[in-house]
Structure 1
Amino acid sequence: MIARRLILALCVAILVSGIFTYLLSRRFSKSAPAAAQLRYVATAKNLEAGQILEASNLTMVNWPVGQPLKGAFLKTEDVVGRTVMYPVAGGEPVLDRQVSAIGAGTGLSTRIPQGMRALSLKSDQVVGVAGYLLPGTRVDVLVTFHTPASPDPVTSTVLQDAQILTAGQKMQPDPDGKASTVDVVTLLVTPADAEKVVLASAQGTVHFVLRNGADHELHDDPPTQLSSLGAAVRVTPVVKAAPVKTVAAVPQGPKPYRVEVVRGDKQTMENF
Structure 2
Amino acid sequence: MNAARIIVLIAAGLAAAAAAYFVYRSSSGAPATVEPQIVQAATVDVLAARRDLPVGARVQASDLYWQAWPEDAVSPSQILRERSPDAAEQYAGAVVRRAISEGEPISPRFLLQAGEAGFMSAVLSPGMRAHAVPITAETGAGGFILPGDRVDVIVAYEAEEDGNSRRRYFVSETVVENARVLAIDQVFGGDEESDSVVVGETATLEVTPEQARALALATERGQISLSLRSLADAEGGPRLVSTQPDPRVAQPAPDPVTPYRNDDGQVVVYRYGQARVTTVDEN
What TM-score comes out, normalization by structure 2 length? 0.45
Structure exhibiting the larger radius of gyration computed from Cα positions? 1
What TM-score comes out, normalization by structure 1 length? 0.47
